[in-house]
Amino acid sequence: MNRAAKLPRPTAVPASSITIEQLTESVGDEWMEWYRMTPAERWRASGQLWEVYVAMGGSLDPEPDTQSPFYFLPS
């Protein structure tokens, strides 16, 4: 039995029917600023965000996974 045939097809809204104003209202000014950046600009901005995160005391160390078979209780 082909189950895919019974599923409704998703309907997409053509990108041309959404105005910049509608998109800005939907996602907000901060996200629109991010969307307008080039990939290189986003890369640099992400690096700056990480620098601020670490300067504020954030850690880049992963959280311990107590469910992992390689997790050992600290002694």
Asked if the structure places residue 24 within a domain, the reply is yes
Residue 5 lies in a domain: no
Q: Would 60 be classed as within a structural domain?
A: no
Specify if 25 maps to a domain.
Answer: yes
Angle, CA 35 vertex, CA 13 and CA 55 arms, to 5°: 140
Q: Residue 69: how many CA atoms within 13 Å on its side-chain side?
A: 0
Quick check: 61 and 53 in contact, CB under 8 A? no
DSSP three-state, residue 66: coil
Q: Assess if residue 70 is contained within a domain.
A: no
18 has a pLDDT exceeding 60: yes
47 falls within a domain:
yes
- Residues 47-72 have pLDDT tens digits of 999 999 999 999 988 888 889 898 88
40: which 2 tokens?
Answer: 């290189």
Number of structural domains found in the chain: 1
Structural domain that includes position 42: 18-55
Are 23 and 16 in contact, with CB atoms under 8 Å apart? no
**pLDDT for position 53:** 95
Residue 31 resides in a domain: yes
Report pLDDT for 13. Answer: 64
Residue 39 lies in a domain: yes
